[in-house]
């Protein structure tokens, strides 16, 4: 029994996003975290076109953590589906409680709340959805451990609800292809909320999260990237254009010491994401 076969069997048992995919361990991605002073990290990328899953740190990619603000993707879908939030311009008035984030201390709509990751807005959204209806959606989607805990308004921050990086990738892939149990409209709006960058033939969609665990802090960035790449088509190819579209789904998380309050990790997580995407796409282009 060779090493590749053993590795494939292991991944199929532990990675839900490995189904019908080729599996690759990318230990070299660890340098991007190490260079940023990050020790405990994981990254998983699914290349849909190649039916391939690439990962760094298998144990961490399959471990469950609080989703923190990445859960606002799910909350937005549920709110739109139920009409709790009618569209991306739906305003929820500020409750008057001053937070340490000045950008949250005002009335705002869904798009603004998603962009600023407003806790007051999404806590109110969760209350309006209600525990019973949110639980039904969690069970139907099979989101993480499907556990709300004591409060519907804090389940994504109090370590009741947990999800793995691998499960995040599976969830995002379904969102991208309108395969979640929500209307196409709800999924289309939420995808648009996630769009952060459009440049140089790439569209980058993501949601970040920064949460507390009993022992440390955890930082997330999850999403997908669409690339337009020029290729030289073979004679007789069905594709008459010299441009092809590729999509990659990703989930990254890492630990930060509980006492570390440096905001530089906000930029570091996106910088690492871009380095890994650049690393992967450049190597892919070299093989064409």
Residues 110 and 108: their CA atoms lie apart, in Å, by: 7
DSSP assignment of the chain equals --HHHHHHHHHHHH-GGGTTSEEEE-GGGHHHHHHTT--SEEEEEEETTTTEEEEE-HHHHTS-B--GGGGHHHHHHHHHHHTSS-STT-EE---S---S-GGGSS-EEHHHHHHHT-HHHHHHHHHHH-HHHHHHHHHHHT-TT----S-TTTTTTTTSS-B-HHHHHHHHHHHHTT-SSS-HHHHHHHHHHHEEEEETTEEEEEEEEEEE-SSEEEEEEEEEEEEEEE--PPTT-S--SSEEEEEEEEEEEEEEETT---THHHHHHHHHHHHHHHHHHHHHHHT-
The structure tokens listed for 77 are: 């879908």
Known catalytic residues are: 69
């Amino acid at each position: 029994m060779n090493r590749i076969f053993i590795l494939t069997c292991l991944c199929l048992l532990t990675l839900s996003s490995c189904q019908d995919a080729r599996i690759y361990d990318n230990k070299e991605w660890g340098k991007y975290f190490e260079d940023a002073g990050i020790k405990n990290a994981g990254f998983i990328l699914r290349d849909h076109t190649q039916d391939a899953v690439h990962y760094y740190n298998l144990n961490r990619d399959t471990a469950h953590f609080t989703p923190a603000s990445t859960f606002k993707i799910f909350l937005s879908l549920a709110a739109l589906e139920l009409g709790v939030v009618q569209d991306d311009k739906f305003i929820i008035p500020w409750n008057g409680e001053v937070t340490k984030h000045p950008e949250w201390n005002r009335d705002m709509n869904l798009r603004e709340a998603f962009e600023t990751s407003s806790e007051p807005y999404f806590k109110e959204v969760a209350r309006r959805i209600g525990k019973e209806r949110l639980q039904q959606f969690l069970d139907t989607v099979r989101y993480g451990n499907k556990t709300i805990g004591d409060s519907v308004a804090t389940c994504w921050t109090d370590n009741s609800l947990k999800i793995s990086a691998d499960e995040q990738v599976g969830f995002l892939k379904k969102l991208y292809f309108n395969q979640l149990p929500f209307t196409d409209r709800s999924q289309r709006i939420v995808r648009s909320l996630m769009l952060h960058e459009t440049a140089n033939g790439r569209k980058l969609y993501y949601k970040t999260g920064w949460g507390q665990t009993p022992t440390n802090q955890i930082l997330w960035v999850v999403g997908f990237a669409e690339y337009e790449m020029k290729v030289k088509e073979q004679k007789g190819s069905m594709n008459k254009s010299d441009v092809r579209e590729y999509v990659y789904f990703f989930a990254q998380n890492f630990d930060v010491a509980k006492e570390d309050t440096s905001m530089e990790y906000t930029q570091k997580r996106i910088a690492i994401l871009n380095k890994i995407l650049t690393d992967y796409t450049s190597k892919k282009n070299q093989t064409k």
